[in-house]
Amino acid sequence: MCANVMVAEDDEKQAELVRRYLEREGHTVTVVRDGRAAIESVRYKAPDLLVLDVMMPRADGLDVLRVLRAEARELPVLMLTARSTEDDLLLGLDLGADDYMTKPYSPRELMARVRTLLRRTRLSAGAEPPAAAVLAVGTLVVDPDRHEVSVEGGPVDCTPGEFRILAAMAAEPDRVFTRQRLLEELHGFDRYISDRTVDVHIMNLRKKIEPAPRRPARLLTVFGVGYKLTDPAKSAARASS
């Protein structure tokens, strides 16, 4: 199934290159040249995926991402940037980007990342997937079909990356997930993404699901190994028995 893809890129040559490759794969492409146009076009056209350059006039890509995520728009976002520092990468992910590529990049690799993101949002599949079971770990509830999370009955807003990590861990409570395993949930076998990506998502999730993020009771660190999701009530019962 082809998708409607928006490309927000002020470099005309780069935008044209990305457009040609996307259209070659059968996608419908809209190109915008600045950040404000990107925000308005997403609101109006509701694309299936946004390829978003960081350095743009009138609002940079990070500001665009802040606005879209504040509006609870969950479309996949693939960020492109000439900046290559880890801090920039982590900031983009912290704001809710699903993937991140630095320039110069291979157009073929870019298309592979696009296919991965679209596949994860079920746009590439021809048939409707079966309904997924609602996952509950104590009072934490994850609904994969509705893409909803709640804690003690209250809604929790998660970025797509945070949701994928939480859903994977909620499907296997008390299992210890290594950082590499969680990276596979986020991006597949992607050698370009740092382990710190997972740490940023875990830190943000703790702020959202833990009463005291600095003393987590649900999303625990297993030192030297990784992380696990547990039911605090069961953990307390085991400790007292």
125 within a domain of the structure (yes/no): no
Identify the three-state secondary structure at position 152. coil
44 within a domain of the structure (yes/no): yes
Question: Do both 145 and 219 map to the same domain?
Answer: yes
Domain final position from 76, 97, 120:
120
Count: domains in the chain: 2
Q: How confident is the model at residue 30 (pLDDT cuts 50, 70, 90)?
A: very high
Residue 13's domain is classified under what CATH number?
Answer: 3.40.50.2300
Torsion angle, CA of 49/55/57/63, rounded to 10 degrees? 60
Please compute the mean of the pLDDT values over residues 188-201 and round it to a whole number: 63
130 within a domain of the structure (yes/no): no
Give the integer Cα–Cα distance in Å for 75 and 194: 23
Domain final position from 66, 89, 120:
120
Question: Do both 104 and 139 map to the same domain?
Answer: no
Q: How confident is the model at residue 127 (pLDDT cuts 50, 70, 90)?
A: very low
Question: Do both 114 and 14 map to the same domain?
Answer: yes
> In terms of pLDDT, which residue wins out, 191 or 185?
185
Q: What is the pLDDT of residue 162?
A: 86
Give the integer Cα–Cα distance in Å for 170 and 176: 11
Q: What is the pLDDT of residue 144?
A: 84
Give the integer Cα–Cα distance in Å for 76 and 80: 13
Find, among 195, 170, 171, the residue nearest to 181 by Cα.
195
H helix and E strand count, the chain: 9, 12
What residue spans of the chain are helical by DSSP H?
A: 12-24, 35-45, 61-70, 86-94, 107-120, 160-171, 179-187, 196-209, 232-240
Please give the mean pLDDT across all residues of the chain.
83
Give the integer Cα–Cα distance in Å for 99 and 77: 7
Question: Do both 15 and 97 map to the same domain?
Answer: yes
Question: What φ, ψ does residue 182 adopt, rounded to 5°?
Answer: -70, -35
45 within a domain of the structure (yes/no): yes
Cis peptide before 129 (omega within 30 of 0): no
Question: Do both 83 and 159 map to the same domain?
Answer: no
Percent of the chain with pLDDT over 70: 85
129 within a domain of the structure (yes/no): no
Residue 215 CB-density burial (10 A; 0-12 exposed, 13-18 middle, 19+ buried): exposed
41: containing domain: 4-120
pLDDT at 80 over 70: yes
The β-bridge relationship of strands 177-178 and 226-229 is antiparallel
Q: What is the pLDDT of residue 169?
A: 92
165 within a domain of the structure (yes/no): yes
Q: For the segment 105-118, what is each residue's pLDDT rounded down to a tens digit?
A: 888 888 888 888 88
Under 8 Å CB-to-CB from 157, ≥6 apart: which residues?
72, 149, 208
189 within a domain of the structure (yes/no): yes
127 within a domain of the structure (yes/no): no
Residue 201's domain is classified under what CATH number?
Answer: 1.10.10.10
Give the full edge-to-edge strand order of the sheet including 226-229: 177-178, 226-229, 219-222
pLDDT at 239 over 80: no
Question: Do both 10 and 111 map to the same domain?
Answer: yes
C-alpha count within 13 angstroms, C-beta hemisphere, residue 134: 10
Domain final position from 97, 120, 143:
120
- pTM check: above 0.75: no
Question: Do both 88 and 180 map to the same domain?
Answer: no
Please compute the mean of the pLDDT values over residues 16-25 and round it to a whole number: 90
Distance in angstroms between the alpha carbons of the first and the last residue of the chain:
54
